[in-house]
A and B are shown apart, each in its own frame.
Chain A
Amino acid sequence: MNEVVAFWILSIIAIFGALVAVRKRNLIHGVFALLVFFAGLSGLFLLLLAEFIAAVQVLVYIGAVGILLLFAIMLTERVTGDDDRRVTSRGWFWGLVVTAAVFVVLLLPAIQQLPPPKAAQTIDPSVKELGHKLMNPYVVTLEVLALLLTAALIGAVTAAQGVRMPKEEDSPE
């Protein structure tokens, strides 16, 4: 019972957040709506008993990605964040059509080919087990991922830094 109610509430929150995030004119509002979406999604993960993933979701997306987006907006848009130009791109209608098509295609397997819905068996996933899995069979993946993150970090810094200003430019005038 609880689970059903929770599912509906959380999914509505998530969809609402996502919609607002992609439609809002004011980017800062958009980011916060996106964060609401992330929060709803992490609630759904919790509902699916993937608590560690839920925590990571909050930590990474809301904690880190959100801040990053805010800073990017601060650096690119006007600080107020609202965007008075035309926000929708050319031919948005076709975009919607394609989206609808994709939606149908996404639903096709869910309708046709999946076995009839079966109930989830009760499980007790422990974070410890996850850690062991990460350290034992997936350790190479983990290392590669660490490498990727480092590379991404350096790449991001170098890309965002751009050409360095000559010294006399930033001396007091």
Chain B
Amino acid sequence: MTLHHYLILAALLFCVGLMGAFTRRNAIVVLFSVEIMLNAANLNFIAFWRYSENPALLHGPLFTLFAIAVAAAEVAVGLALVIAVYRHFKTVDLESMDTLREE
């Protein structure tokens, strides 16, 4: 196994997430996709760390740890927003929430 395997895998996963974010219209699914992308990035971190000159610095795991924590916060807030939006628009369809105004 070399670094490139992991990088290409991460790129693939990232693009799967991107595809989801681009082609789905349900806000929650878009949230999934964002999670997938984040995790692909984490995979990259860990892979680079593993194949780095001195892994003893543990930069990769630390950064990934922080990224995971931030992602958790992001999910919580994102879902809360989705629910709030749902309460307002009565839908989580991204195409139908295209206004910033009350109407």
In the complex, whether B87 has a CB less than 8 A from a CB of chain A is: yes
* Contact B15 A30, beta carbon cutoff 8 Å: no
Contact among B6, B20, B71, B92 for A22, CB-based, below 8 A? B20
Which residues on B sit within 8 Å (CB–CB) of A130?
58, 61-62, 65
In the complex, whether B97 has a CB less than 8 A from a CB of chain A is: no
Which residues on A sit within 8 Å (CB–CB) of B58?
125, 129-130, 133
* Contact A50 B61, beta carbon cutoff 8 Å: yes
Contact among B50, B73, B92 for A149, CB-based, below 8 A? B73
**How many interface residues does chain B have, given as a range?**
35 or more
> A133 to B80, alpha carbons, bound, how many Å?
33
* Contact A98 B22, beta carbon cutoff 8 Å: yes
Contact among A69, A87, A99, A118 for B75, CB-based, below 8 A? A69
Interface SS of chain A: helix
Known pairs A15-B16, A22-B36, A48-B50; A121 contacts B55 (CB<8 A): yes
| B34-77 Cβ-contact flags toward A at 8 Å (1 or 0) | 01100100110011011100011010111011101111111111
* Contact B70 A22, beta carbon cutoff 8 Å: no
* Contact A162 B87, beta carbon cutoff 8 Å: yes
* Contact B15 A102, beta carbon cutoff 8 Å: yes
Known pairs A30-B29, A30-B32; A123 contacts B9 (CB<8 A): no
* Contact A89 B23, beta carbon cutoff 8 Å: yes
| B6-33 Cβ-contact flags toward A at 8 Å (1 or 0) | 1111011111111110111110110111
Closest-CB distance, B102 to chain A (whole angstroms): 13
| A135-173 Cβ-contact flags toward B at 8 Å (1 or 0) | 000100100010011011101110110100000000000
Which residues on B sit within 8 Å (CB–CB) of A117?
2-4, 51
Q: What are 14 A-B contacts with C-beta separation under 8 Å?
A: A14-B13, A21-B36, A45-B46, A48-B50, A72-B79, A76-B92, A87-B25, A89-B22, A103-B11, A110-B8, A118-B3, A123-B50, A130-B65, A155-B80
- Which A-B residue pairs are the 4 nearest by beta carbons? A22-B20, A95-B22, A117-B2, A152-B73
